[in-house]
Structure formats: C-alpha cells, structure tokens
Amino acid sequence: MSANLYEARNLVQRYNGREALNIQYLAIEEGEAVFLTGPNGCGKSTLLRLLAFLERPAAGELRYAGGAEGRKEATLLLQDPYLLHMSVFNNVALGLKFRNQTGELRQVFERCMQAAGFDDPWNFADRGPRELSGGERQRVALASRLALRPRVLLLDEPTANVDAASARAIALAVRNSTAEGMTVVCATHDPALLRAIDAREIRLGTAWDMDACVSPL
C-alpha cells in the first residue's frame, strides 16, 4: 500500500463567517485517483483549493508528504480556466519558462497537447484563445498543467460545459495520468467521467450539513 500523500484532520474552511467545508478525516495516497462528488455547495472546489495550497484552512490540519514543496508539486485546473492572450504554444510553455525549464519546449508542447487530445498540435500552436472552442480551451489549459509534470493534478469539473469529443479526450488524459503514477483528485458531476476512470469516490455532504465529513476508508 502506498503512503499517504495528503492527510487531513478536522479540516474546516469558512468564508465571511460561514462554514464551507468540514471534514473530520481524509487521506489520499501517493498515485491514487480520487473523485470528489456531491451537490453544488458541498465544498468540493474549496477542498481542491486547500489541496493546491492556494488557501489556508480556518481550522484543522492538512499534512502533505512533500512538505512546503506542495505549492510546486500540485497544480489546479479550474472549471473555466483562463488562457492568456497569447498563442496556444506560449500558454502551454509559460509555466516551464517561469521555471527556466526551456530546453525541450517544442517536445513538451507536442507531447502534452497530444495527451490532451490534439492529434495535430502544431495546427493549434499559433492560435489565440479566441480562435478556440470551449472544449479546446479546456484541453489547452490541461496541456499547460501536464507540461509542469505535477506530482498532483487537481481538477475542478474538467468536463463541464465542453463538447462530447473534448470530454472523452479529457477523460483519457486523466486516465493516462493516473496510469503514469500521478496523484489525481477530481471534482465532478459527470457520470461518464466516473465510469471512465478507476478511482475512489468520496462524496461530500450537502451544503447545509455542517457536520459533513469524510470518514477513514
């Protein structure tokens, strides 16, 4: 059995004094695929932001095996990702440029675009965000996250509001990422995505149930 990559106890998050998340216990193993399900407002997106270290919890403990490196090792793909007003190539390569990892940009671009379902990546390389469909923008954003080779890939409703072909491509990319040993945590309402990937499902409580918790499995 793999060691826990994340472990949370009595984890609480509040916004404007209102409790948005309350988890008694949660453990996610290294290399595990996990689906977060539950109704809107139950805290799925909040939990993803905490796992990405974009927020600090209001109370409780969240441990990450990589320590402070979690900020670099986890990447979050939002439901409606924002692409910068630059070419697709530069959007995908931007994170690597910030990290001064520019030695194999073309190879990384091609590999990650293909992983995100683009059969001919170079046909899209010079296009801007406005020249892409919603599904294509989502897949370019996914390619930009894959280019970082994250230890943890966090996804917030990745197949919402995209066409069927893009949804299938995203599901395949996520499945391949888990097969390569990446830890994947995905919030979703999509039954097709749930069927496509062998993952543990964690159902969070209702938005009004302030005692909602995830018990140890």
pLDDT in tens, 59-109: 999 999 977 667 789 999 998 888 999 999 999 999 888 777 777 899 999
Mean pLDDT, to the nearest integer, of 23-50?
Answer: 95
Categorise residue 112: left if φ over 0, alpha if ψ from -120 to 50, beta otherwise. Answer: alpha
- What is the distance between the alpha carbons of residues 152 and 140, in angstroms, rounded to a whole number? 18
Query: Which architecture does CATH list for 32-57+67-201?
Result: 3-Layer(aba) Sandwich (3.40)
pTM: 0.90
pLDDT the model gives residue 68 = 66
Question: What's the pLDDT score for residue 210?
Answer: 35
What are the DSSP calls for 8-33, one per residue?
A: EEEEEEEETTEEEEEEEEEEEETT-E
Would you state the structure tokens that stand for residue 152, as one six-digit string? 């943890």
The answer on pLDDT for 213 being more than 90 is no
Is the per-residue pLDDT at 155 higher than 80? yes
Q: Is residue 144 within 8 Å of 92, Cβ to Cβ?
A: yes
Give the model's confidence band at 49: pLDDT under 50 very low, under 70 low, under 90 confident, else very high: very high
Average pLDDT over residues 163-179: 95
Sorted by where each begins, the domain ranges of the chain are 32-57+67-201
* Structure token digits, residue 195: 């069927």
Query: Do residues 163 and 139 make contact, with C-beta atoms less than 8 angstroms apart?
Result: no
Decide if 186 contacts 34 (C-beta within 8 A): yes
d(CA 105, CA 87): 14
Indicate the residue type of 12. Answer: V
Q: Tell me, letter by letter, the H, E, C secondary structure of 150-203.
A: CCEEEEECCCCCCCHHHHHHHHHHHHHHHHCCCEEEEECCCHHHHHHCCCEEEE
27 and 4 Cβ atoms separated by less than 8 Å: yes
Q: Where are the alpha helices (DSSP H) in 52-149?
A: 70-73, 88-98, 105-115, 134-146
How large a percentage of the chain has pLDDT more than 90? 81
Q: What is the mean pLDDT of residues 100-120?
A: 91
Q: What is the spatial distance between Cα 133 and Cα 163, in angstroms, rounded to a whole number?
A: 9
Helix (H, G, I), strand (E, B) or coil at 205: coil
Res 211 pLDDT > 60: no
